[in-house]
Amino acid sequence: MDNPYVRFRGQPLTLNDYLAIDRTVLANERTLLSYTRTALTLLVIGGTALKFFDSLWMEIVGVMFMLAALATFIIGWRRYQHMRAYVGAALEQRVTDPVAKAKEAA
């Protein structure tokens, strides 16, 4: 399958491109916050199960929720770092800032 964006490689970035990059960065941060919120919720549920219920079964459920919270946070953090590196690498390959170019030429 052909990549429809190949023709844009090596072209200078436009204002729309810079805005799209900013939107991508903000969406990545928003996704990390969603993972964090989910992990915190799972942690609270696990803590509640441990604190307010005395049965062994509920203690196991509480610990499982806490482990799920840790796993959720780790997965979210890894995805955030991966996307951040991907966007950074793409920028390094394509950035041709017209303002910086004009300053260098002057």
- Domain extent for 93: 28-105
Share of the chain above pLDDT 90, in %: 59
Angle at which helix 15-52 crosses helix 56-94, to 10 degrees, equals 170
Please check whether residue 98 is in contact with residue 12, taking contact to mean a CB–CB distance below 8 angstroms. Answer: yes
| Mean pLDDT per 10-residue interval, the chain, length 106 residues | 68 81 93 98 97 95 98 98 89 62 56
The number of folded domains in the chain is 1
10 Å CB burial of residue 42 (0-12, 13-18, 19+) is: buried
Integer CA distances (angstroms), 90 to 3, 4, 83, in order: 16, 16, 10
Residue 1 included in any domain: no
Instruction: Please check whether residue 48 lies inside any domain of the structure.
Output: yes
Q: Give residue 94's pLDDT.
A: 66
